[in-house]
């Protein structure tokens, strides 16, 4: 099928490349001419394992192309996907739909025949209704069916998530839209992927509900970790003990410094705003947002406490890991941002390393010394904090780290090591949720 993807950000580029991989003809559109030019040269705008190879293969096969010409790209398309950003509005936390609406207006104005407009962007309930009105205003009389098809892509594992999904959710109001989406995803369905068809508003809500629930799991185990530290229990064993209950499951039960990224922070806020607009508050999600924001900054205080008494001003802390999770270069809402700010507020010098995130980190952080490797980061430091669990940081030579440091203090915010490992290397060790634990 002929498909147009509006937006070549994380969702649009991965989705477009994967749809091409399963046999469709994909035209990706972006207003940023420099981004399109780089893509034409095979240069990816994001770091995602395997994406450059996937894009290159499908460009070479003639199934994937890039352009800034939206009108030409939508001409003759069976479906046009909107995959533009929906950041949180700073004023009220609601999803900023200006990019979605602008794309919908331009798509509709360019159409010369019937098509299906599909929202791939994460949008609040009722956005599909608004897109229908916009399309009618922009091009009266043109036949447009609007569908919702939310993405469930984990950064760092997005290609696998798309090609072998837990489920594909499609929300439609017409048989035409349902039939088109059925044909688009037929190759995945043939491989066993469940296709969940719902009403459009239900589909829009599913994405927010899913991310809110995962945020709740993360925040729950983080608060249990605090309790473990207080009572002398080990959160790793608690996580295993509850996660083996198949009603709960093992995923998203790793305690850490709080959630971040492009989805959970903005989606929980947008869900709360929708709930407020419809006078149906979701108090548990409200509490999760409150707790998570305060936890990230509290991790900075945890590092300071591990450094012991005395004025920390002028001391150096090495931060290992800046992105919100490994295998991505995404710095959005990363816990490292709040941790570093908390340290800098009391006069601590920060030296940092991340395998992929330092380009974006330099745009967001001031007065941070960025270095080329973890051992350069810890040299002369009074503490080192592991903030992102990159594999590189799980296999450090701890005796070497201790020997390079001014004070061998390891604050393991991702529980990458055991107390025995650290102490045998001559380090003072603090972790998450492992009160009194030698492991």
CATH code of 296's domain: 3.40.50.720
Domain-embedded: residue 10: yes
Residue 439 scores a pLDDT above 70: no
Q: Are residues 285 and 155 in the same domain?
A: no
Q: Are residues 265 and 311 in the same domain?
A: yes
For the chain, the domain total comes to 2
Look at residues 198, 226, 245 and tell me which one is the last residue of a structural domain.
198
Domain-embedded: residue 375: yes
**pTM for this prediction:** 0.93
Q: Are residues 185 and 49 in the same domain?
A: yes
Pairing verdict, β 2-6 and 409-412? unpaired
Q: Are residues 164 and 288 in the same domain?
A: no
Domain-embedded: residue 228: no
Q: Are residues 250 and 194 in the same domain?
A: no
Q: Are residues 254 and 186 in the same domain?
A: no
Domain-embedded: residue 216: no
Domain-embedded: residue 39: yes
pLDDT in tens, 327-346: 999 999 999 999 999 999 99
Domain-embedded: residue 222: no
Residue 247: predicted pLDDT:
96
Catalytic annotation, pick one of 18, 28, 263, 416: 263
Residue 437 scores a pLDDT above 70: no
Residue 370: predicted pLDDT:
98
Q: Residue 438's pLDDT band (boundaries 50, 70, 90)?
A: low
263 is catalytic: yes
Q: Are residues 111 and 32 in the same domain?
A: yes
How far from 205 is each of 117, 153, 210, 274, 281, CA to CA, in Å?
18, 16, 9, 10, 15
How far from 401 is each of 308, 323, 381, 409, CA to CA, in Å?
19, 22, 10, 10
| Share above pLDDT 70 across residues of the chain, in percent, rounded to a whole number | 99
Task: Give the whole-angstrom CA distance, residue 149 versus residue 17.
Answer: 16
Instruction: Average the pLDDT over 159-173 and give the result.
Output: 97
Domain-embedded: residue 311: yes
Q: Are residues 160 and 244 in the same domain?
A: no
Look at residues 150, 180, 198 and tell me which one is the last residue of a structural domain.
198
Instruction: Average the pLDDT over 260-268 and give the result.
Output: 94
Tokens of 225: 């970790």
Look at residues 141, 175, 198 and tell me which one is the last residue of a structural domain.
198
In sign, the C-alpha dihedral spanning 268, 269, 271, 275 is: positive
Residue 106 scores a pLDDT above 70: yes
Q: Are residues 170 and 299 in the same domain?
A: no
Q: Are residues 240 and 368 in the same domain?
A: yes
Domain-embedded: residue 112: yes
pLDDT in tens, 217-229: 999 999 999 999 9
**Residue range of the domain that includes 427:** 236-431
Q: Which of 195, 10, 179 is nearest to 79 (CA)?
A: 179
Q: Are residues 182 and 243 in the same domain?
A: no
C-alpha torsion angle, residues 264, 268, 271, 276 (rounded to 10): -170
Q: Which residues of 394-405 are buried (b: 16+ CB within 10 A; e: fewer)?
A: eebebeebbebb
Q: Are residues 401 and 304 in the same domain?
A: yes
């Amino acid at each position: 099928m002929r498909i147009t993807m509006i937006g070549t950000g994380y969702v649009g580029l991965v989705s477009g490349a994967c749809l091409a991989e399963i046999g469709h003809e994909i035209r990706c559109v972006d207003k940023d001419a420099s981004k399109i030019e780089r893509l034409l040269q095979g240069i990816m705008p994001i770091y995602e394992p395997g994406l450059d190879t996937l894009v290159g293969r499908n460009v070479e096969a003639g199934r994937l192309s890039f352009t800034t010409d939206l009108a030409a790209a939508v001409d003759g398309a069976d479906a046009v996907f909107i995959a533009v950003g929906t950041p949180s509005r700073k004023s009220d936390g609601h999803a900023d739909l200006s990019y979605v609406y602008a794309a919908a207006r331009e798509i509709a104005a360019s159409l010369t025949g019937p098509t299906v407009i599909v929202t791939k962007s994460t949008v609040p309930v009722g956005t599909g209704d608004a897109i229908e009105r916009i399309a009618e205003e922009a091009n009266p009389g043109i036949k447009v069916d609007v569908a919702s098809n939310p993405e469930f892509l984990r950064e760092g594992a997005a290609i696998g998530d798309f090609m072998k999904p837990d489920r594909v959710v499609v929300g439609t109001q017409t048989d035409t839209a349902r039939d088109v989406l059925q044909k688009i995803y037929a190759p995945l369905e043939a491989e066993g992927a469940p296709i969940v068809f719902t009403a459009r508003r239900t589909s829009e809500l599913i994405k927010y509900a899913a991310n809110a629930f995962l945020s709740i799991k993360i925040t729950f185990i983080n608060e249990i970790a605090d309790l473990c530290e207080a009572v002398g229990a080990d959160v790793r064993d608690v996580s295993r003990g509850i996660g083996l209950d198949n009603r709960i499951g093992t995923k998203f039960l790793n305690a850490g410094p709080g959630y971040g990224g492009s989805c959970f922070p903005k989606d929980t806020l947008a869900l709360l705003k929708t709930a407020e607009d419809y006078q149906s508050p979701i108090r548990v999600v409200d509490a999760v947002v409150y707790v998570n924001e305060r936890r990230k900054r509290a991790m900075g205080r945890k590092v300071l406490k591990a450094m012991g008494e005395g004025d920390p001003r002028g001391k150096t802390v090495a931060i290992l890991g800046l992105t919100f999770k490994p295998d991505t270069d995404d710095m959005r809402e990363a816990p490292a941002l709040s941790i570093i700010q908390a340290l800098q507020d009391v006069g601590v010098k920060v030296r940092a390393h991340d395998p992929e995130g330092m380009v974006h980190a330099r745009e967001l952080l001031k007065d941070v010394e960025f270095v080329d490797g973890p051992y350069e980061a810890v040299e002369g430091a009074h503490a080192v904090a592991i903030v992102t669990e990159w594999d590189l940081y799980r296999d450090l030579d701890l005796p070497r780290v201790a020997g390079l440091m001014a004070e061998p203090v390891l604050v393991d915010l991702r529980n990458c090591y055991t107390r025995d490992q650290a102490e045998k290397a001559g380090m003072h060790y603090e972790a998450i949720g492992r009160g009194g634990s030698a492991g």
